[in-house]
Structure 1
Amino acid sequence: MQSLPVFLRLTGKPVILTGEGEAADAKRRLLERAGARVVGETQEAALAIVSDGDAATVARLRARGILVNATDRPDLCDFTLPAIIDRDPVLIAIGTGGASAGLAKALRQRIEALLPARLGNLAVALHEARDAIRARWPEAAARRRGIDAGLAAGGPIDPLSDKAVDAMPDWLADNADAAADRLETIRLLSSDPDDLTLRAARLLGEADRIYHAPDVPAAILDRARADAVRIPAAVKPEAPGEGLSLWLETMA
C-alpha cells in the first residue's frame, strides 16, 4: 500500500485551486461539494490542487509546506483524488495512486450499480440505534459479532438489500444469538491473494483471530480484518477462543 486513504473534513476550510478550464471547474465543483472554501495561490491553506499540473506552481506551493495534488502528474502529487461513490453519509473512494483515472472510474461505475440508493439511510439508522445496539449486546465482542451477522450477505440488515432500513426494528428485537464460537479451516491454493475463493475472502473479513502455519504469506494475512489477531501456529488449535477463528494452511 503506497498511500494511506483518509477522509478530510473540509467544511469552511481553505483549499488552493490553480489553473483554468474544464479540469479546474471539475475540481472546484468537487471541493465545493465537500464544503471547502476555494482560494487562490497566494492565500494560506494546507492543501492545494494544481489543475493544470504546472510543475513550477507545484514547487512554489510545496516550498510553503502545502500538500499538493497535480492533475495528471502523479509524480508531483502528495495526495491523489479518488473516484467517489456518494451515498451520504457513506462514501466509497477508489484510487489507483494516479496510475489510471479511467480504471478508477470504471470500478466506481461497477460498484455503484450494486449499492442501493438507501444505503446512506442504513448508516444513519445504525448511528441512531447505537444505544439500542449496546443494550442488545452489552459486551463489545458480542456486539461486534451481532452487527457482523446482521450485515452479512443475506442477513437481516444486509446493506445490499433495499429493505435493510425497514428491517432494523425486527433485527434489534430478535433474541437469537449471533453464530456460535467456531473454527473454520482454509486451505490456500497458492500464495497469491487473488486465488482466494469467495468463501475464504469472506471469512478473512469476518474472523476474530487467525491461526496460521508459518509459511502462510503476508499478502494473504493482509486480506484479513485489520483488528483480527494473527497467531502463528504449527498445528490447528484445539481451543481457538470466542467468535470466529480461522486456521490457514497451504496445500503443500
Structure 2
Amino acid sequence: MPIFVRVDGRPVILVGEGAAADAKRRLLERAGAVVLDETDATSEAQGPRLALVACDTPEPVAARLKARGLLVNVADRPDLCDFTLPAIVERQPVTIAIGTGGASAGLAAALRQRLEAVLPASLGQLADALASARDALRARWPDSAARRRALGAALAGPLDPLTEQPDDAVARWLSSGGTEAGALVSILLRSTDPDDLTLRQARALAQADRVTHRPDVPRAILDRARADAERMPCTAPPRDLPGLTVDVAMGA
C-alpha cells in the first residue's frame, strides 16, 4: 500500500557504507530526516520508526532492527523489505512516486525519466495555486462531491496539469464561474483490455461518482475508476441520481 511518510526532523536509522548507502543518505537528508546509525538511535527519546540498510550481510542487521519494531528497507533485497523506496519525480509541492514492489529498480528509473520529460515545470505552481484557492473552492461548491466534480472537469480541460499553465490559471478559471460535471456517461467497451480505453473513457471513469456496469465487465476496467467511486452492477443505469454516473457495458 503506497504511503508518503513525513520524516522532516525525525530520526531514521541508516546502516551501511558505499554508493548505495550514500544514495539513501542523500534521499533522507533531502527529506529533512535526522540520520542515525544503529547505536546512536538507542538514546533517542522519540525513537526511530524506519531503518534503511545497505551492507554486504544485511540479514542479521535487518533481523535486529525488526526485533525492535522498526520497518526496514534493505537495498536490493525485496525479500527482507517491509517497505520499498520508489523512484521520485518532484515538482514541489507535487511528488510522484513510482514503485515496482521491488521487482525492478531499473524499470522505476526508466518511468521516472519519461515522466520528467512530460511533466511541465508549472505543475508545482498549479498545486500551490489550488491550495491557496481552497477557501474559494469551498465557497463556490460547498458540497464536497460537487467540488470534486468541478475540479476534475477543470483538470481535464482548462487546468490540464500536463500543460504549462500561467500564474493566474486557477484565478481565471474561478472568475469564469468554473464548471461542474454532472451527467450520465455510457461507455461501450470493444475489448477487455483497459489499455484500449479511449482518453475520454478513461477520464470519465477517473471522475465518476459511481460506476454502473454489466456483470461481464472485467475488474481491470472497473479498477480504472476512483477507489471511492460506488460500483453498481445492474442491467440498466439509474437516471435520477445527482453527480457523474458512468455506465459500462461490453460491446457485441
Change (3 A) 1:101 1:240: farther
> Is it true that 1:25 corresponds to 2:26 in the alignment?
no
CA deviations 1:132-188 (Å, max 9, x no partner) are 112222222222221112111xx2222122225322221111125424x32222122
- 2:206 corresponding residue in structure 1: 205
Question: 2:44 matched to which residue of 1?
Answer: none
Q: CA deviation at 1:189?
A: 2.9
Name the SS of the counterpart of 1:122 in structure 2.
helix
Match of 1:38 in 2: 35
Report the TM-score, using the length of structure 2 for normalisation.
0.91
Q: Is the 8 A contact 1:212 1:247 kept in 2?
A: yes
> Partners of 1:227 and 1:13 in 2: how far apart?
32
Normalising to structure 1: TM-score of the pair? 0.91
Report if the CA contact (8 A) 1:158-1:164 is conserved.
no
Equivalenced residue count is 245
My pick for the range that moved more, 64-73 or 50-59, is: 50-59
Instruction: Kindly indicate whether the alpha-carbon contact (under 8 Å) linking 2:147 and 2:180 is maintained by their aligned counterparts in 1.
Output: no
| Contact kept? 1:189, 1:251, Cα under 8 Å | yes
| Aligned-partner Cα distance in 1 for 2:13–2:99 | 22
1:52 counterpart = 2:55: yes
Is the 8 Å Cα contact of residues 213 and 234 (structure 2) preserved in structure 1?
A: yes
Q: Could you tell me which amino acid in structure 2 is paired with residue 233 of structure 1?
A: C
Match of 1:142 in 2: 146
Identity across matched positions, percent: 62
1:116 is aligned, of 120, 142, 151, to 120
CA contact (8 A) 2:53 2:72 kept: yes
Match of 2:165 in 1: 163
1:244 maps to amino acid: L
Q: Give the deviation of 1:47 after TM superposition.
A: 0.7
CA contact (8 A) 2:154 2:179 kept: no
- Equivalent AA in structure 2 for residue 65 of structure 1: G
Q: Compared with structure 1, are the counterparts of its residues 46 and 244 closer, same or farther at alpha carbon in structure 2 (3 Å cutoff)?
A: same
Structure 1 vs Structure 2 CA RMSD? 1.6
Alpha-carbon spacing, 1:81–1:240, altered in 2? closer, same or farther (3 Å)? farther
SS, match of residue 165 in structure 1: coil
**Which residue type is aligned with residue 84 of structure 1?**
I
Deviations 1:89-139 (A, max 9, x none): 100000001110000000011112111112111111111111111222222
Gaps in structure 1 of 5+ consecutive residues: none
For the pair 1:78 / 2:97, whether they are aligned, the reply is no
What SS does structure 2 have at the residue aligned with 1:113? helix
1:12 corresponding residue in structure 2: 9
Distance, in Å, in 2 between the alignment partners of 1:58 and 1:176 is: 53
Instruction: Specify the SS of the correspondent of 2:52.
Output: strand
Q: Give me the whole-angstrom Cα distance separating, in 1, the residues matched to 2:200 and 2:103.
A: 30
